[in-house]
Amino acid sequence: MFKLETMIYASEDGTSRVFTLNPDLQKQLTDLAMQHPEVCHRKAKGEAGGVTYQVRGAVLAIQPVRGS
């Protein structure tokens, strides 16, 4: 078993950047971006499988994500 890192950077302007290597969390963020593109969108996808999303004007609720 290995750790899948997630980092959240919150800005004073009400936006947050979320970088994650966790595929389950990536799917949740992708779904959020599809449903609410005005709130969330993908900024970058890294070579190592990490993805960065920007979330605007929303409260982030952090809950454990279990692998499939």
Q: 16 to each of 3, 8, 43, how far by Cα in Å?
A: 22, 7, 12
- Asked whether residue 68 is domain-assigned, the answer is no
- Asked whether residue 4 is domain-assigned, the answer is no
Q: Total structural domains in the chain?
A: 1
Q: Is the pLDDT of residue 34 over 80?
A: yes
Instruction: Tell me the per-residue pLDDT of 36-50, one tens digit each, with 9 for 90 and over.
Output: 999 999 999 988 889
| Banded model confidence at residue 31, pLDDT cuts 50, 70, 90 | very high
Q: Which domain holds residue 26?
A: 15-56
- Asked whether residue 30 is domain-assigned, the answer is yes
Q: List 42's β-bridge partners, or say none.
A: 53
Torsion of CA 22, 24, 30, 34, to 10 degrees: -170
Residues 6+ apart with CB under 8 A from 60: 8, 16, 18
